[in-house]
Structure 1
Amino acid sequence: MKLLKWVACLWLLISITVAAAGMLCSSRVADVAIVPGNTVDRDGVPAPGLAARLSRAKQCYDDGECKIIFVSGGTGLSGVNEATSMHAWLVRNGVPADKITVDPEGNDTWSTAQHASEWMRAHNHSSAMIVTQYFHVPRAMLAMKRFGVTEVSGAYPQFWQARDIYSVLREAPAFLWYAVRPFP
């Protein structure tokens, strides 16, 4: 029983630390803003959390903090590809289509980091800004660094939902896994 309490306390401490690190992260001007996918409705409309990410990425682009927005996502339960939906949202909201790169196979944060880093190297970009929810920023930044992108910062939207409690707790084991995860 003592071990279980110790593990629970450690898990909570790591979760809070990761979330706090995400909240304290500040964005820096970067070549590319990378937006990982999230839920998209059946009609192709990004769910509120994803729309908030996209809005923050658009703000970064509008403010000159990035030159290109790299959207990455797979096809979820809705049957709609997240990256394609994200591209459409950004274009509808005024980002030029030629300033958006679409990765339709970013099925998770790890594959998004792999694809984004490969694309960056192929296009001579060296700095990235991850745009995602605050609790997800540290793990996404870690993944980019694991794939060789050393200049990485993070940005997050001012968006909160009840599901964040679960998401914050999920980040502890996910962050630790990304720290030691072997490459395929």
Structure 2
Amino acid sequence: MLGNTVHADGSLSPRLAARLDRAYQCYEQRQCKLVFVSGGVDASGTDEALAMRAYLVLRGVPSDSIVLDRSGNDTWSTARDASAFMRDRGLSSTLVVTQYFHLPRAMFALKRFGVREVSGTYPVFWEVRDIYSIAREVPALIWYGIRPL
């Protein structure tokens, strides 16, 4: 579960709430046993991963089923951290939750870090900002293909 904006007051951006709702659905439907929430901590101390865990716990996901990655400042870091977590526990498959336009790059990054089985899902959510985000994904995906591990 890749992070996104958490406001200084602790409220989640609509985009992040939609992702978390989709992650919750996957958990509830037993598509995953653990939810790996990954996000960074901004300069003011706002912690995306903690906010994501709190949101999921309020919806009924047990806290011991949620794994926090507080150093997932970007997709590359999240993929690195998630793959290391999986390797340490002998896990080989994951379901990525992010926006529809971001799935190819997130899935590719996990595969580059050695995760064998990667699938993805996304919330039904759209905003005008997606136009910029879609255009950004092409060069970002190319960079992830050549970026050293």
TM range (shorter): over 0.9
2:13 is the counterpart of 1:47: yes
1:135-177 CA-partner distances (Å, limit 9, x unpaired): 0000000000000001000000000011000000110100110
TM-score normalised over the length of structure 1: 0.79
1:49-77 CA-partner distances (Å, limit 9, x unpaired): 00100000000000010000000000136
Aligned residue number for residue 103 of structure 2: 137
Task: Give the share of equivalent positions with the same residue, in percent.
Answer: 60
Aligned residue number for residue 119 of structure 1: 85
Greater Rg, structure 1 or structure 2?
Answer: 1
Correspondence for 2:114 among 148, 156, 164? 148
Relative contact order, higher structure (CA 8 A, sep 6+): 1
Aligned residue number for residue 2 of structure 2: 36
SS at match of 1:36: coil
CA distance in 2, matches of 1:77, 1:137: 27
- Structure 1: which 5+ runs fail to align? 1-34
CA distance in 1, matches of 2:4, 2:42: 8
CA distance in 2, matches of 1:39, 1:79: 13
Superposition CA RMSD, Å: 0.9
- Structure 2: which 5+ runs fail to align? none
Moved over 6 A (4+): none
2:146 is the counterpart of 1:180: yes
Trace 1:90-109 onto structure 2 (pairs within 5 A): 90-109=56-75
CA distance in 2, matches of 1:89, 1:42: 15
Specify the code of the residue in structure 1 equivalent to 2:8: R
Number of aligned residues:
149
SS at match of 2:118: strand
